[in-house]
Each structure stands twice: as structure tokens, then as C-alpha cells.
Amino acid sequence: MKKIPLILDCDPGLDDAVALLLALAHPESINLLGVTTVVGNGPVQQTQENARRICQLAGRLDMKVFQGCPRHLFVKVGSSPSTYTGADIHGETGLGGCKLPFPTIPLQSVHAVSFILQTLLESSEKITIAASGPLTNIACALIMEPSLKDKIEKIVLMGGVIGLGNITPSAEYNFFCDPQAASVVFTSGVPIVMIGLDATRQTHTSESWLRTIESINTPISQAVVDMLSYYHRVDALFEPGVAGGVLHDPNVIAYLLKPELYKGRDVYVEIDVSPTIMAGRSTVDWYSKLHCKPNAYVVNEIDVNGFFEMLTEALGRYIFPEQKSHTCSHC
């Protein structure tokens, strides 16, 4: 399998942290060129620090982490009565119950958007982008250089929903945070794989799976258990009927590694950018009622057992002893 040249754009965040660990566990399949961070589950200062913490936990002191946009493209006015913040689910640090030491991995001085632009424009091959947070960084890059779309193999993103939202009745959180950015990406002409809530809600944690990860008995597996045990308790409070913490973001990496685990169809998707309660809603034309050209492959079904088998195997790869110095304070 040819290595996938990849930029991971994220906002860690508990499930983002697991997505990053999944990517770092597969150096034979993924050439992770850099990790770019954005405001989303927390302020961008926090998300970049957490990305560096996770890279350090994984023993990847060589990984380049870039801080991106501290705010979204436009301020939404009157779009939702919601008072939700990322801390409500991800905790004050963004990593739930896991307390990782301050990272020694340096933050790159280049802005994340500049890194995306430079990396894509200078590359002799097309590059894939995995996006697990709001799409602000990617949209900014496409606005600054529209021809960038020809340098992107595809964008695999976690965002949107066909049915019920998780921040408003009809909007998913990442798209709600920056509807305009999502709209820029979906109208750019870049090939898109959209893994929305209809799919990711299928991949929720269970007590038995958390005990399986705990039994791996390594610093990283314990850190993941500390993170996801918190998430398992809290996330279910925000989405009644979902049993456990939903692992939304690891799906963008799992799709790249094993696309056969995912089913969907090519459809037309439009993002509502109106400053109303509908902001961030993704209209997914599943039955081609609008007769518009498809602009995304939308996933609606996941092989859940295959997903968790992959994730368990990946976390079991982290066994080297030098990680002891980078583990949770109570591991």
C-alpha cells in the first residue's frame, strides 16, 4: 500500500486525540506531513497544546504542529440559543480526565493556513486532508488560493448530518461553528468524503471495549481509557439514547486506512449560512430531488466491529518503554 501523504486538521478534543493516535500508529500507511489546529472544541491555544501533548505521548517528538485560526470566518448573529462550549463535553483542558504534561515539542512558527498553502503548492503529488474540526483553516487556504483544489486528492471530514443535529435541532457542531467555512469547502470542487453524525453515532464507546483497552496495559492505553471514560460518562448526557461517548473523529483516519468499512453514496450537499437557527444545517440530497451534481460522498453506514477492531489493534502498537515519561500524571 502506497503511503497516503496527509495533513490532519483538528481541534483536540477527546475524539480528535484518538484520531491523532490512530494516524500516528500507522506510519507504514500514512505519511503525516503535519498537524494543523483550529478553534473548535477549545480555543486554538488549547487545541495546539493538546495536539503537541498527544504527539509527545505517542513518542513522535518529530511531528510538526501548527496553530491555525483563532476565530471563525464570520460571527453568527442570533443563530442559536445554545450556550454549549467544548468544555462541556471535553472538559476544561480538552482531554477530559487525562492530565498530560505540558509539551516539550515546539510549536511551529508558521501559521497553519500558510503551512497548508505551502505544502500543497510545493508538492509534486496530490495530498489528502483529514479534517476533524471546523473547516476554517481549510476554507481560508482555498479562499487565498482557489487553484489549491487541484492539489488536493480529497478531503475526508467529520461534519454534518442527514438527520438530527447535536448542537441545534438540525446542525452538527463542526459545521455550526463555521457554516461559511463549510460552504466554501463544499463549493470548492475538491473531492469530499463527509462522515456525519448519522454514521459516527454508530461508533460509540462501551464499558466492555474500555476494559479491553485498559487490558493492553501500556501508558498510552491507560491515557486513552482516562480520556474516554470521562467522555463515556459525559457525552451520553448531551445525546440521550446514545450509549456512551461517540468516537466521531477517529472515523476520518479509519476511513483512509480501511475504506471498505464504510458505505454511502455520492450526493449533493448544501450548507445553510443564514444567521438563523438553521445556521450550519447540511441539506443532504440523498434521493437526488434537487437534480444537482453530487459534491460529496456521504457515509451513512459503518462496520462497527471492524472499526473497533482497527482501533484496538492500533492502540496495542504503542508499547515502547520511553513513553513512560510522557504518560498521564496518575498512570
Name the residue with cell 457542531: 173
Summary mean pLDDT of the chain: 93
**pLDDT above 90 as % of the chain:** 84
Residue 158's CATH number: 3.90.245.10
In a domain, 291, yes or no: yes
| pLDDT surpasses 70 at 175 | yes
**305-313: long-range contacts at Cβ-Cβ below 8 A with a sequence spacing of 24 or more?**
306/258, 306/261, 307/203, 307/250, 307/251, 307/254, 307/261, 308/203, 308/209, 310/22, 310/254, 310/257, 310/258, 310/261, 311/18, 311/22, 311/247, 311/250, 311/254, 312/209, 312/212, 312/213, 312/216
In a domain, 88, yes or no: yes
**What is the arithmetic mean of pLDDT over 22-32?**
98
- 178 or 74, which is more confident? 178
Catalytic annotation present for 291? no
Catalytic residue among 248, 291, 326, 330: 248
Residue 62: is it exposed, middle or buried by C-beta count within 10 angstroms (0-12/13-18/19+)? exposed
In a domain, 331, yes or no: no
Q: Using one digit for the tens of pLDDT, what is the confidence trace for 234-278?
A: 887 777 777 789 999 999 999 999 999 999 999 999 999 999 999
In a domain, 296, yes or no: yes
pLDDT, residue 325, reads 44
| pLDDT surpasses 90 at 137 | yes
**What is the arithmetic mean of pLDDT over 74-88?**
62
Q: Using one digit for the tens of pLDDT, what is the confidence trace for 283-302?
A: 999 999 999 999 999 999 99
**What is the arithmetic mean of pLDDT over 10-28?**
98
What letter represents residue 225's amino acid? V
Query: What is the C-alpha to C-alpha distance for residues 301 and 208, in angstroms, rounded to an integer?
Result: 22
pLDDT, residue 63, reads 98
Tell me how many domains the chain contains.
1
In a domain, 80, yes or no: yes
The boundaries of the domain holding residue 314 are 4-326
In a domain, 192, yes or no: yes
In a domain, 288, yes or no: yes
